[in-house]
Amino acid sequence: MKINEWQEIVDKWINTIGVRYFNPLTNMALLTEEVGEVARIIARTDGEQSAKKSDEEMDLSDELADVIFVVTCLANQNGIDLTKALQKNMEKKTNRDIVRHRNNKKLE
């Protein structure tokens, strides 16, 4: 699936099943919540924090998909073509970091 197809799928879902987009501030709060759930899983699987019984059902792939869904909602609400945005962002990173990471002694 292409990113623009995903954006269309989300828009159709929002306007039928979801009724309408939440306002951007609500979506920002939801994004923060979803990123927190990703952090919770990683803190327990890769960090030092021990898991609780309630953590057993958490699924990293599902939580990452939730993050992408909400980011897509925010993009759609703001008329952002994520394909173009990601391409532009990758060009920016490439130009900025072309030698930066190779010269980072901490990464050796």
| Boundaries of every domain in the chain | 3-79
pLDDT of 58-80, one tens digit each? 899 999 999 999 999 999 999 99
Q: What is the arithmetic mean of pLDDT over 7-19?
A: 97
Amino acid at 3: I
Q: Give pTM, 2 decimals.
A: 0.89
Cα distance between the two ends of the chain:
36
Domain 3-79 CATH superfamily: MazG-like (1.10.287.1080)
Q: Is the pLDDT of residue 103 over 90?
A: no
Please provide the DSSP assignment of 6-31 as one string.
Answer: HHHHHHHHHHHTS-SPPPHHHHHHHH
Say how far residue 96 (Cα) sits from the centre of its chain: 22
